[in-house]
Amino acid sequence: METWASQHSGPSATQDSGTPRLVWLVASAVETSVQQNERVILLARGSRKKDEVTVFHGSKSPTLTIRQYLERVFKYAKCSTSCFVVAYIYLERYLQRRRGNRLTLLNVHRLLITSILVAAKFIDDECYSNGYYAKVGGVSTAELNKMELEFLFHLDFRLNVTVECYRSYCCRLEREGSGRRGYKIEQPFHP
């Protein structure tokens, strides 16, 4: 997995800020999902069915955009770019198992920091503490500990991602991002 990520995290794969385009592709995919879900929620305001509130829901949406948030996490957590793809995979797995939940402005940042933390612990050789990730993510250590445990239980602690799955998500992220200005990766993915 690191071979692909290292090819796409060097100078040719970054914008001026030094953030790999891969991180922006993940941000773009998550932003699209949140926007779609927020439209659905807005249209369904009159219906009786409401989204289930979980430990991942905040009382108000953060001021940072999803892209800014992921740039911040990348800058300070120093986890591999592969973590962002694996975190995205974990996030989708979590949402598939929690069918009543969807990504919204109130839960997306907390779900992202949790999925990135879990991915970093699972695939990186070195990882900062939960307390450090909590500071980077803008939550308390107690909240992050609780969210991590909740997240892991809903994934049944199944964290393995096959090379085929990883490559499939990389190709999907590139396809989804290729139509958005500024998100295309210069080198094609090689599954």
Phi and psi at 126, nearest 5°, equal -125, 145
Contact between 185 and 9 under an 8 Å Cβ cutoff? The reply is no
Q: How high is the pLDDT of residue 17?
A: 63
Contact between 94 and 51 under an 8 Å Cβ cutoff? The reply is no
Distance CA 115, CA 3 (A): 22
Q: How high is the pLDDT of residue 58?
A: 86
Q: How high is the pLDDT of residue 50?
A: 58
User: What is the Cα Rg of the chain in Å?
Assistant: 16
One digit per residue, the tens of pLDDT, for the chain of length 191 reads 443 344 344 433 445 568 888 899 999 999 999 998 888 877 776 554 556 678 888 888 889 999 999 999 999 999 999 999 999 999 999 999 987 788 999 999 999 999 999 999 999 999 999 999 999 999 999 999 999 999 999 999 999 999 999 999 999 998 887 665 443 333 333 33
- The CA-to-CA distance between both ends of the chain, in Å, stands at 11
Closest to 170 measured CA to CA, from 161, 160, 180, 157 = 161
Bridge partners of residue 20, in order along the sequence: 14
Q: How high is the pLDDT of residue 49?
A: 53
Indicate the pTM of the whole model.
Answer: 0.82
Q: How high is the pLDDT of residue 47?
A: 55
Contact between 184 and 29 under an 8 Å Cβ cutoff? The reply is no
